[in-house]
Amino acid sequence: METREILEFVKSGAMSVEEAEGHFRRQPFEDMGYAKLDMHRKMRSGFPEVIFCSGKPDEFLVSIYKRMAEADGQAFGTRASAHQYELVKKEIPDITYDPVSRILKLERTPKERKGLVAVVTGGTADIPVAEEAAQTAEYFGTNVERIYDVGVSGIHRLLAQTDKLQQANCVVAVAGMEGALASVVGGLVSNPVIAVPTSVGYGANFGGLSALMTMINSCANGIATVNIDNGYGAGYIATQINRLAYGGNNSDAK
């Protein structure tokens, strides 16, 4: 239960002051032994804790999802496998899984989406990382425009989308190979660009290092670069920028 919701309950008389006080006295994290769930993160930063699924033991992951579902009716996890989805689904039947982005999500109450972020890819092979960014932003309450497969080898495809790019409060540019997409986008728009290098490419791509180096050395202004394949990080920052642009408040979860 969120702070504002508790206060509204007290205001309407649906909850006593003593009951509300009990909620606020709870410690800001829940110690499960193998995990310490940050239950107050949404209150502090406007974003709830997200689960990084890869590498977590099966029983731990299931228990974490169950507890977060009980506490808030929602849970968002990245880098999940189909095996992990099947395990969690046995305990939480309404959990959903996207095999492209590898996002494992419970969202019982749909969120209102505001503003606009554009997520752009150089190629189709970059879509898994782009979808991680797009679905992260959507989960946090952002409208997302997807513009896929508009890499610089056919730059007319990107230029045809200029109007859409310029309308967005932030653009997430996702590309592998040499990573030139972010620089071109940066020269077309006035709002911030978040560059996401991907590990897509041939041998000299070095698992995304070539794209990373291009992006952090870009001559275009207004570009910030996240780590290789870090779609989640890009979607999070894009949402922060988007909230500021439409007058939202990053200190709450609206």
Domain boundary among 107, 122, 152: 107
Judgement on whether residues 95 and 119 belong to the same structural domain of the protein: no
The pLDDT value recorded for residue 252 is 44
Instruction: Indicate if the pLDDT at residue 254 is higher than 50.
Output: no
At 14, list the tokens. 């649906």
For residues 165 and 171, is the Cβ–Cβ distance under 8 A? yes
Q: What total number of domains does the chain contain?
A: 2
Judgement on whether residues 136 and 183 belong to the same structural domain of the protein: yes
Q: What's the alpha-carbon Rg for the chain, to the nearest Å?
A: 20
- pTM of this structure: 0.82
How would residue 124 be classed by pLDDT, with cut points 50, 70 and 90?
Answer: very high
Note whether residue 72 is domain-resident.
yes
Judgement on whether residues 101 and 175 belong to the same structural domain of the protein: no
Using CA atoms, how far apart are residues 39 and 243, in angstroms rounded to an integer? 22
Look at the chain and count its residues.
Answer: 254
Note whether residue 21 is domain-resident.
yes
Note whether residue 252 is domain-resident.
no
Top pLDDT among 124 and 30 is at 124
Find the domain containing 13 and state its range. 3-107
The pLDDT value recorded for residue 18 is 78
Range from 70-74, 171-175, 219-223 carrying the lowest mean pLDDT: 70-74
Judgement on whether residues 135 and 93 belong to the same structural domain of the protein: no
Instruction: Indicate if the pLDDT at residue 96 is higher than 90.
Output: yes
The chain-wide mean pLDDT, for the chain, equals: 87
Domain boundary among 50, 80, 107: 107
At 152, list the tokens. 């610089």
Helix-helix angle 127-139:231-246, to 10 degrees: 40
Note whether residue 253 is domain-resident.
no
Judgement on whether residues 134 and 231 belong to the same structural domain of the protein: yes
How would residue 110 be classed by pLDDT, with cut points 50, 70 and 90?
Answer: confident
- Within 8 A by CB and 6+ apart from 144, the residues are 116, 117, 118, 119, 134, 137, 138
The per-residue pLDDT for range 139-177, each reduced to its tens digit, is 999 999 999 999 998 999 999 999 999 999 999 999 999
The per-residue pLDDT for range 9-64, each reduced to its tens digit, is 888 888 888 777 666 655 565 555 566 565 655 556 566 678 889 999 999 999 88
Judgement on whether residues 94 and 118 belong to the same structural domain of the protein: no
Judgement on whether residues 20 and 72 belong to the same structural domain of the protein: yes
Domain boundary among 107, 132, 167: 107
Instruction: Indicate if the pLDDT at residue 204 is higher than 80.
Output: yes
The pLDDT value recorded for residue 22 is 66
The pLDDT value recorded for residue 35 is 63
Residue 234 dihedral angles phi and psi, to the nearest 5°: -70, -40
Write the secondary structure of 167-212 as one string of H (helix), E (strand) and C (coil).
Answer: HCCEEEEEECCCCCHHHHHHCCCCCCEEEEECCCCCHHHHHHHHHH
Element spanning 132, H or E? helix 127-139
